[in-house]
Amino acid sequence: MTERSIAVVTAGLTTPSSSRLLADQLAAAVRDELSGRGIEARAEIIEVRDHAHDLTNNLLTGFPPAQLRKVLETVEQADALIAVTPTFSASYSGLFKMFFDVLDDKALAGKPVLLGATGGTERHSLVLDFALRPLFAYLKALPVATGVYAASTDWGTGAAKLRTRIAQAATELVATLHHETPRQADPYENPTPFEDLLNG
Amino acid sequence: MQFGVFTVGDVTEDPTTGRTVSEAERIKAMVAIAVKAEEVGLDVFAQGEHHNPPFVPSSPTTQLGFIAAKTSKIILSTSTTLITTNDPVKIAEDYAMLQHLADGRVDLMMGRGNTGPVYPWFGQDIRNGIALAVENYALLRRLWREDVVDWEGKFRTPLQGFTATPRPLDGVPPFVWHGSIRSPEIAEQAAYYGDGFFHNNIFWPMSHTQRMIQLYRSRFEHYGHGAADQAIVGLGGQVFMRKNSQDAVREFRPYFDSAPVYGHGPSLEDFSRETPLTVGSPQQVIERTLTFREHVGDYQRQLFLMDHAGLPLKTVLEQLDILGSEVVPVLHKEFAAKKPAHVPDAPTHASLKAAAERARDLETIKEPTA
């Protein structure tokens, strides 16, 4: 049985958090979809809140403390990413953005991403397309066409429809997983020869 | 092995008193630190170059020339000389002049500078940082090594029949280190020329310093200057010491907490674990510093940052006393005992002059006697 690693980044602040709930359901749907194809999924949940101090320290010092470094490596090495943020002031939360600010800006290049967001009202649902998509486009990630937004009603009367959207998004993510994610060249392994630098 | 201090020359408020020294006081304090460094037996004093507040040292050779007159043994160096925004012609002349005045007690560390707005003040653009470092340094080397230079490049006006004056002392250019925190191109440049490579090693984890040094060493060997373990490596370090380590932590913490660069971020304890910062007893500083060679191999120069974050001059001078009397003598002995015979010391004016004379003698022998 082959295996795929899925990094799940969720930036909810409360316990329990609706962002975490959505992240868990997305991860479960992706796992089901993969197992139907005979592929095992290894999902690693990353609660951004747990690294809030380290993220600030990384911004101030320029390097990630040891624990955060491990988490950033998990995201870099994953075959796919599920990213979920609460909607704050018409956008992703500041904490969510900090995570992607300190992540190497080449880390997500070519990586399939499933976008998720939560909010108190469905009036914010375009946050996926107006805030998250541009961010992941800059990072050269490959977000699947369906993003999943969950408002308060989606946890009650709208639950069935939410499940449909989650299943659709999971199917799309898994469909992209046969792609080889390009690995970044290590500048410390293969430096540009100095003659090339001298010749401009 | 050489030990010394390096300073950036920042003017920072003392967070424990709220007092900020004047530029005059800071400039004179840097001189006092250099003189003290020689007095306590250190080998190197290196100072930064900056052209924006809160830093004072915009004119390093003026300051180093003044220090040269007040000292007799210590090597005067830079940390760093801006190879990007300075005209290489002026660097060639300023430091050759300093060599003569200081009887050869001069070397330099090249750096790019990391502040975007500084570049346009000198007609440059930070996006050309690497290209400027490459072209300017290639010209600087020729200006020191060739009496008459014809040159044309991208970044300055061409030179025709130009002679930089004065010529380097004894015809021997100052030894050059290249400093970079994370640019593989600069490690590559140092390796290509067989120059020294310095990692400031005070802001980032040792694992990163190790990768940069490994790259430099392997490329030094690739370019045929010797085995990887014979490359010339320098490291920075940052320490604060008191007899009892708790006293050191208590006294340094307010300076750490509001220091430029990492202040208001990680705790002193976290930063000490993640980076080479050592706050504690002289013995702890000795033990930590000795671990550096386990990461980067036997190296030639260790500089300590002692005078930043608003520490008063009196405290800095006390720190230098402890460094010179209790720490460096032990480090000298321990490092020397571990270093294999084939690993060279850092080049000095005397050793470079002797090498140049040996090379000339060999040339004379090889010449056919017609």
B270 has a chain A CB within 8 A of its CB: yes
**If pLDDT is split at 50, 70 and 90, which confidence band does B79 have?**
very high
For B29, the token pair is: 């304090």
Please indicate whether, in this complex, the C-beta atoms of B184 and A191 are within 8 angstroms of each other.
Answer: yes
Number of CB pairs, chain A paired with chain B, less than 8 A apart: 61
- Position B367 confidence tier, pLDDT thresholds 50, 70, 90: low
Tokens representing B53 are: 């507040």
pLDDT at A74: 97
A181 pLDDT band, cuts 50/70/90, is: low
Q: Which helix (H) or strand (E) element contains residue B354?
A: helix B349-366
- At residue A185 the predicted structure's pLDDT band, cuts being 50, 70 and 90, is confident
Better-scored residue on pLDDT, B215 or A16: B215
Cα gap B254→B275, rounded to integer Å: 18
Give the model's pLDDT for residue B369. Answer: 58
State whether A61 and B265 contact (CB < 8 Å): yes
3-state secondary structure of B128: helix
Cα dist. B222→A181, B175, B188, B226 in Å? Answer: 32, 21, 10, 9
The pLDDT tens digits for A25-52 are 999 999 999 999 999 999 999 999 999 9
Q: Which among B219, B265, B270 has the least Cβ separation from residue A191?
A: B219
Q: Which residues in B lie closer than 8 A to residue A66 (C-beta atoms)?
A: 274
Is residue B300 very low, low, confident or very high in pLDDT (cuts 50, 70, 90)?
very high
Best residue in A60, A67, A188, A195 for a mutation probing chain B (most B CBs within 10 Å) = A188
Cβ–Cβ contact B260 with A under 8 A = no
- Given this model, what pLDDT does residue B364 score? 79
Q: Are B262 and A60 an interchain contact pair (Cβ–Cβ within 8 Å)?
A: yes
Instruction: Give the distance from CA B59 to its chain's centroid.
Output: 16
User: What's the pLDDT score for residue B334?
Assistant: 97
Tell me the nearest-neighbour CA distance from A60 into chain B, angstroms.
Answer: 6
Give me the residue label for tokens 């940069």.
Answer: B212
Contact call for B134 and A62, based on CB within 8 A: no
Nearest CB to A66 within list B130, B188, B274: B274
User: pLDDT value at position A183?
Assistant: 66
Peptide bond into A61 cis (omega under 30): no
Residue by residue, what is the 3-state secondary structure of chain A?
Answer: CEEEEEEEEECCCCCCCHHHHHHHHHHHHHHHHHHCCCEEEEEEEEEHHHHHHHHHHHHHHCCCCHHHHHHHHHHHHCCEEEEEEEEECCEECHHHHHHHHHCCCCCCCCCEEEEEEEECCHHHCCHHHHHHHHHHHHCCCEECCCCEEEEHHHHCCCHHHHHHHHHHHHHHHHHHHHCCCCCCCCCCCCCCCHHHHHCC
pLDDT-based confidence at A1, cuts 50/70/90? low
Of B185, B205, B274, which has the smallest distance from its Cβ to A197's Cβ? B185
Cα–Cα dist B199/B194, whole Å: 16
Do B228 and B296 meet the contact criterion of CB atoms below 8 Å apart? no
Contact indicator for B285, B249 with CB cutoff of 8 Å: no
- Between A8-17, A185-194, B312-321, B337-346, the lowest mean confidence (pLDDT) is in A185-194
Q: SS3 for B270?
A: helix
Task: Give tens-digit pLDDT for B89-147.
Answer: 999 999 999 999 999 999 999 999 878 899 999 999 999 999 999 999 999 999 999 99
pLDDT, residue B270, reads 94
pLDDT at residue B20 in the model? 97
Residue in A57, A187, A198 closest to B138 by CB: A198
Judge whether A72 and A102 are in contact, CB under 8 Å: yes
The distance of B263 to chain A (nearest Cα, Å) reads 8
Q: Each residue of A125-154: pLDDT tens digit?
A: 999 999 999 999 999 999 999 999 999 999
CA distance B65 to chain A (A): 33
How close, in Å, is residue B325 to chain A by CA atoms? Answer: 32
Q: What would the pLDDT profile of B219-263 be if each residue is shown by its tens digit?
A: 999 999 999 999 999 999 999 999 999 999 999 999 999 998 888
> For residue A191, what is the nearest residue in chain B, using CA coordinates?
B184
Mean residue pLDDT of chain B comes to 96
B221 part of contact set with chain A, CB < 8 Å = no
Give contacts of B 104-133 with A, CB under 8 A. 130-131
Q: Kindly determine whether residue A191 and residue B154, on different chains, have CB atoms separated by under 8 Å.
A: no
Are A119 and A91 spatial neighbours (Cβ–Cβ below 8 Å)? no
Nearest Cβ partner of A194 from B188, B208, B264?
B188
A61:B203 CB<8 A: yes
Residue partners of A160: CB distance under 8 A and separation at least 6: none
| Domain residue spans of chain B | 2-366
For residues A131 and B191, what is the distance between their CA atoms, to the nearest angstrom? 45
Over residues A9-16, mean pLDDT? 94
B143 to each of A66, B116, B137, B173, how far by Cα in Å? Answer: 46, 28, 10, 9
What architecture does CATH give domain B2-366?
Alpha-Beta Barrel (3.20)
Q: What are phi and psi of B257, to 5 degrees?
A: -60, -30
B83, B188, B195: best to mutate for the A interface, most A CBs within 10 A: B188
Spell out the domains of chain A, with CATH numbers in brackets.
Answer: 2-198 (3.40.50.360)
Nearest-CA neighbor of B52 among B136, B120, B140? B120
CA–CA separation, A178 and A64 (whole Å): 31
Distances (CA, A) of B86 to A41, B82, B288: 56, 6, 36
Render the burial of B162-174: b for 16+ CB within 10 Å, e for the rest.
Answer: bebeebbbeebbb
Helix/strand/coil for B137: helix
Instruction: Collapse the DSSP code of B86 into the 3-class scheme (helix H, G, I; strand E, B; otherwise coil) and give the result.
Output: coil
Write the pLDDT tens digit of every residue in B161-219.
999 999 999 999 999 999 999 999 999 999 999 999 999 999 889 999 999 999 999 99
pLDDT tens digits along A41-94:
999 999 999 999 999 999 999 999 999 999 999 999 999 999 999 999 999 999
- Contact check, Cβ <8 Å, A65/B266: yes
CB contact under 8 A, B204 and A60: no
B4-54 pLDDT tens trace: 999 999 999 999 999 999 999 999 999 999 999 999 999 999 999 999 999
Between positions 26 and 55 of B, the ones with CB within 8 A of A are none
- Whole-number pLDDT of residue B180: 95
Determine what percent of chain B is predicted with pLDDT higher than 90: 94
CA distance B275 to B280: 14
- Chain A contacts of B204, Cβ < 8 Å? 61-63
Q: Are A61 and A68 spatial neighbours (Cβ–Cβ below 8 Å)?
A: no
Task: Please say whether the beta carbons of B323 and B306 come within 8 A.
Answer: yes
Query: What does the pLDDT read at residue B207?
Result: 92
B142 CB within 8 Å of a chain A CB? no
A11 to chain B, closest Cα gap in Å: 21
Q: Which among B188, B219, B266 has the least Cβ separation from residue A61?
A: B266
B245/B47 Cα distance (integer angstroms) = 28
Amino acid B163: pLDDT:
98
Q: What local confidence, expressed as pLDDT, does residue A178 receive? A: 73
